[in-house]
């Protein structure tokens, strides 16, 4: 696949993986500190490592969370502030998955780790209907890819899916990639392109497990997706909503005026408070029926 545009092959060559990871580290630094009273406990679901946030799992409700970072960066530790606030707002404990990153482990390793973690939860006696899949940026797209894998494996589907500024189209074909390139101060096309190249290698960027914006959502659970109107991933959120509507799946896509990528990272913003409150309400509603 001809995957490398001419303007990125100049004298110094393309940025290396460490530079790309440094860009994401700068983005993660916006998250601030985790809620003071929140517990973070190392854990494992089958072969998959991660950490429990809040309650230590069990037969009740569980948020299975996938961190962002372009499939090349991030960890449960970098996303403690964001996941901690979501757990605090919803009252539902999470397992934050430490899935394998590219380029050391490329597509579909992250998807395999996610489905393994989900299978392990089911193996613990947790009902699928009491699990909500969640994630931000790459992790938001991954949550949808995991739902696709769960459905295609004929496993019990989760109760819902939530995504914050999801990256769901690795072909980078959304119009907002161009129209919002000046208004998005956090994320840029080049960083996403480099991340996709490391993650996909020679795989098709339109593969549904890489880019769930191209998947069919029949038999999916209810969905809630939040994004900022000024971010380059705005259209990825809209595409997920379109796929859900085509499959007649209950969906709420909320695009927040004036907001950029992962605006929920700033808890002082009123829009962040509203978004987290709405997401928390959805998580409680979609994971409560079998929590007794």
Pairing of strands 94-97, 131-136: unpaired
Number of domains in the chain: 1
Asked whether residue 222 is domain-assigned, the answer is: yes
Residue 175 burial (C-beta neighbours within 10 Å; 0-12, 13-18, 19+): exposed
pLDDT at 144 over 50: yes
pLDDT of 8 strictly over 90? no
Average pLDDT (15-23) is: 96
Which tens digits make up the pLDDT trace of 200-252? Answer: 999 999 999 999 999 999 999 999 999 999 999 999 999 999 999 999 999 99
The proportion of the chain whose per-residue pLDDT surpasses 90, expressed as a percent, equals: 89
Confidence class for position 20, pLDDT limits 50, 70, 90: very high
Specify the pLDDT at position 53.
97
Of the candidates 135, 151, 168, 160, the one whose C-alpha atom is nearest the C-alpha of residue 238 is 168
31 inside domain: yes
Residue indicated by tokens 């907002």 = 176
Return the HEC string of 22-79: HHHHHHHHHHCCCCCCCCEEEEEECCEEEEEECCCCCCCCEEEEECCCCCCCCCCCCC
Tell whether pTM > 0.85: yes
What pLDDT, on the 0 to 100 scale, is given for residue 12? 57
**In-domain check, residue 292:** no
pLDDT of 3 higher than 50 = no
Contact 225, 163 (CB under 8 A): yes
User: Is the confidence at residue 5, as pLDDT, over 90?
Assistant: no
CA 58 to chain centre: 23
- Of the candidate ranges 3-12, 97-106, 110-119, 122-131, the one whose mean pLDDT is the lowest: 3-12
Cis preceding linkage at 108, omega within 30:
yes
The overall average pLDDT reported for the chain is 93
Q: CB–CB of 237/262 below 8 Å?
A: no
The percentage of residues in the chain with a pLDDT greater than 70, rounded to a whole number, is: 92
Domain annotation covers residue 1: no
Examine residue 124 and state whether it is found in any structural domain, yes or no. Answer: yes
**7: buried, middle or exposed (CB in 10 Å: 19+, 13-18, 0-12)?**
exposed
Domain that includes residue 226, residue range = 6-287
What six digits make up the tokens of 252?
A: 């709420």
Question: Cα–Cα distance between 115 and 193 in angstroms, integer?
Answer: 25
pLDDT digit string (tens) for 51-109? 999 965 444 799 999 999 999 999 999 999 999 999 999 999 999 999 999 999 999 99
Residues 71/79, Cβ–Cβ less than 8 Å: no
| Contact call for residues 68 and 74 (beta carbons, < 8 A) | yes
Q: To which residue do tokens 């964001």 refer?
A: 82
Is 185 within the bounds of a domain? Answer: yes
Give 3 or 253, the one with higher predicted confidence. Answer: 253
Report whether pLDDT(271) > 90: yes
Inform me whether the pLDDT recorded for 173 exceeds 80.
yes
The whole-number pLDDT of residue 267 equals 86
What does the pLDDT read at residue 60? 75
The strands making up 40-45's β-sheet, listed across from edge to edge, are: 40-45, 48-53, 94-97, 62-66, 131-136, 160-164, 223-228, 251-256
Residue 29 within any structural domain of the chain: yes
∠ Cα 147 157 242 (to 5°): 50
- What per-residue confidence (pLDDT) applies to 118? 98
Tokens for 290, please give them.
């079998």
Q: What is the pLDDT of residue 223?
A: 98
Structure tokens at 233: 């991933």
Give the bridge partners for 160, in sequence order.
132
Q: What is the CATH number of the domain that holds 179?
A: 3.40.50.1820
Helices of type H across the chain: 17-28, 80-90, 109-123, 138-152, 176-179, 189-200, 234-246, 270-287
């Amino acid at each position: 696949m001809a995957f490398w545009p001419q303007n990125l092959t100049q004298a110094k060559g393309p940025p290396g993986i460490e530079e790309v990871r440094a860009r994401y580290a700068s983005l993660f630094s916006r998250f601030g500190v985790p809620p003071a009273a929140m517990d973070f406990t190392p854990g494992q679901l089958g072969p998959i490592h991660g950490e429990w946030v809040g309650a230590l799992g069990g037969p009740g409700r569980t948020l299975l969370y996938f961190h962002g970072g372009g499939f090349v960066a991030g960890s449960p530790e970098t996303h403690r502030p964001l996941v901690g606030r979501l757990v605090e707002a919803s009252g539902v404990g999470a397992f934050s998955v430490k899935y394998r990153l590219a380029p050391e482990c490329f597509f579909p390793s992250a998807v395999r780790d996610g489905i393994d973690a989900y299978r392990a939860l089911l193996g613990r006696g947790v009902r699928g209907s009491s699990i909500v899949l969640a994630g931000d940026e790459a992790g938001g797209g991954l949550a949808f890819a995991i739902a696709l894998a769960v459905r295609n494996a004929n496993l019990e589907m989760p109760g819902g899916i939530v995504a914050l500024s999801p990256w769901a189209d690795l072909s980078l074909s959304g119009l907002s990639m161009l129209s919002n390139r000046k208004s998005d101060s956090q994320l840029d096309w080049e960083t996403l392109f480099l991340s996709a190249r490391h993650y996909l290698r020679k795989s098709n960027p339109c593969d549904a497990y890489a880019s769930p914006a191209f998947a069919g959502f029949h038999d999916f659970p209810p969905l809630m997706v939040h994004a900022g109107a000024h971010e380059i991933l705005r259209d990825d959120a809209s595409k997920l909503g379109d796929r859900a509507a085509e499959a007649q799946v209950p969906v709420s896509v909320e695009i927040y005026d004036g907001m950029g990528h992962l605006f929920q990272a700033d808890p002082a913003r009123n829009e962040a408070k509203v978004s987290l409150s709405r997401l928390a309400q959805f998580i409680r509603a979609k994971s409560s029926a079998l929590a007794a």
